[in-house]
Structure 1
Amino acid sequence: MRIAVISDIHGNLEAIKTAYLDILERNADNIICLGDLTGYGPYPNEVVDFIREKRILVTLGNYDASVYERKFNYIRDNEINKFCMPWTADRLTKRNIEYLKSLPERMTLKYGRKEICFAHGSYRDINEYLNEDYEKLDEVMKDFFGDVLVCGHTHIPYKKIFGEKLLLNDGSIGKPKIGRPNGTYLILDINNENIKVEFIEFKYDTNKTADAMRKEGLPLSCIEGIMTGIE
């Protein structure tokens, strides 16, 4: 069983289309998305429609929750979000808003005796940043009862081992923070009790996304972030 894990598309249609084709070439059996379909990028409806059309399993992202609630409960109250959150909410169709509202906060799947939990921030909070240097990381994993925890939200891919437990982050499809404009995702190759993890980095047409953002009047700092991979 090969599972591709993606997240943090953030309205970047060019990135998700490229990632999807790349995933097909790598013969993944399933795709799971860890949320944040919307925000920042110029194509919120198109991204949600794409994910729905491909029947991809999705968990709720913090930005998606903020968009349908029109509140800053789950995102930072800064100048970019003050523009991007209401801009996105105003453009989403009622159908897509209802879709975001229907998403679960976490998803747990069993493969043999392995229990894998998929969530946006962490299994206990969609807005918890599980960075590699997070001071509560040991506490989070100690209280985690599964075998593998797969998260997004930080936009930085990594793998970390806690005894017999594994913590993974797939990075970001549409708004990377790796110092390069390339999107990232991961593939879990599950064979009986063995899980092999492969991190994928891919290039896409960033200029096309940036041009669309400029036409929509999205903030320059947001455009620069997507073009450079630096927040």
Structure 2
Amino acid sequence: MVSSVAVLSDIHGVLPALEAVLDEPDVRAADLIVVTGDHAAGPQPVEVLDRLRALGDRAVLVRGNADRELAEIARGEFPADQAWEIDRWAAGQLREEDVAFLADLPHPVTLEVEGFGKVVFCHGTPRADDEVVLVDTRLERWAEVFTGLPDDVRTVVCGHTHMPYTRLVDTRLVVNSGSIGMPYGRPGGSWALLHGGQVHLRHTAFDLDGAVRRVVEESGYDDCRAWAEHYVRGVTTDAEALRVFGPRDGRAAS
């Protein structure tokens, strides 16, 4: 059992954002860092994977849908015409060991955390890495999502939608730590700290101009500047993201 966990998610291949969050004192002091998926699909895929693996046993990496898809693209198992351009590019940068690493990541992961008991860490939901649930998703949908989840799991930590929140779902605590490299709502790295039975949603501001400049200089992706100016700067608002994601949580069928 660990007493403190720093939760990071959705880095999307943005090394300066990852470095800024890893430099946070509470992240450095945490017993464990859990990264809940979508690590490399972005402009600095290999650099981010190398930095994460350098954390060694201090880090547990969970598979995200983009991690699975990058490996499938690299192996020719994912239809290229259905992939984002930057994902096709990122998949082409991966070394053989990177592809195997991403393909073998677990989803979900259950850990014992002091003050919480068993905690399930996932990307989309415990049952699927690409399933969408939101802060305002209806309880009936959450009940579907949690089908088969053991009764003694009272906390679920997820990612995927790039917007931080905590909420109760019929007595279960749900946490989304937000995104490190592609935030929706406000720029900067969003993450969470689980400590002492409490959840602390945290936000790390960093030099956006410098981060964009570094990504452009260090990435070989042709359209890197436009990508970084939009995603690293957090241009997409939470309202815009909710309007896009909302229909995907099944609410239209209710």
- Would you call these one fold, judging by a TM-score over 0.5? yes
Determine whether 1:90 maps to 2:97.
no
Give the aligned CA root-mean-square deviation in angstroms: 2.4
Partner AA of 1:165 in structure 2? R
**Secondary structure of the residue that 2:192 maps to in structure 1?**
strand
Percent of aligned pairs sharing the same letter: 29
Which ranges of structure 1 fall in alignment gaps of 5 or more residues?
Answer: none
Alpha-carbon distance in structure 1 between the residues aligned to 2:88 and 2:117: 41
In structure 2, relative to structure 1, the CA distance for the partners of 1:142 and 1:161 (3 Å cut) is farther
Shift of 1:226: 2.2
Q: Which residue of 2 aligns with 1:197?
A: 199
1:217 to 219, 222, 225: 222
**209-218 vs 93-102, greater mean Cα deviation:** 209-218
Alpha-carbon distance in structure 2 between the residues aligned to 1:111 and 1:203: 27
Shift of 1:37: 0.7
Shift of 1:204: 2.0
**Secondary structure of the residue that 2:20 maps to in structure 1?**
helix
**Secondary structure of the residue that 1:227 maps to in structure 2?**
coil
**Secondary structure of the residue that 1:228 maps to in structure 2?**
coil
Alpha-carbon distance in structure 2 between the residues aligned to 1:222 and 1:21: 21
Q: Which residue of 2 aligns with 1:66?
A: 69
Shift of 1:25: 6.1
1:134 to 123, 126, 137: 137
Partner AA of 2:195 in structure 1? D
Shift of 1:157: 0.6
Is the 2:166–2:175 Cα contact (8 Å) retained in structure 1? yes
Q: Which residue of 2 aligns with 1:51?
A: 52
Shift of 1:85: 1.1
Determine whether 1:156 maps to 2:163.
yes
Q: Which residue of 2 aligns with 1:174?
A: 181
Q: Which residue of 2 aligns with 1:22?
A: 24
Shift of 1:185: 0.3
In structure 2, relative to structure 1, the CA distance for the partners of 1:133 and 1:140 (3 Å cut) is same
Which ranges of structure 2 fall in alignment gaps of 5 or more residues?
Answer: 242-254
Shift of 1:205: 2.8
Shift of 1:147: 1.0
Determine whether 1:103 maps to 2:105.
yes
Is the 1:8–1:174 Cα contact (8 Å) retained in structure 2? yes
TM-score normalised to the size of structure 1? 0.86
String of CA shifts for 1:134-190, please: whole Å, max 9, x gaps: 341243246532111000001001111123311110101111002x21110000013
Q: Which residue of 2 aligns with 1:32?
A: 34
Partner AA of 2:155 in structure 1? V
Q: Which residue of 1 aligns with 2:248?
A: none
Partner AA of 2:229 in structure 1? I
**Secondary structure of the residue that 1:187 maps to in structure 2?**
strand
Shift of 1:222: 5.6
Alpha-carbon distance in structure 1 between the residues aligned to 2:44 and 2:205: 18
Query: How many residues are paired up?
Result: 221
TM-score normalised to the size of structure 2? 0.79
Q: Which residue of 2 aligns with 1:187?
A: 193
**Secondary structure of the residue that 1:36 maps to in structure 2?**
coil
Alpha-carbon distance in structure 2 between the residues aligned to 1:92 and 1:217: 17
Shift of 1:35: 1.1
In structure 2, relative to structure 1, the CA distance for the partners of 1:149 and 1:23 (3 Å cut) is farther
Partner AA of 2:49 in structure 1? V
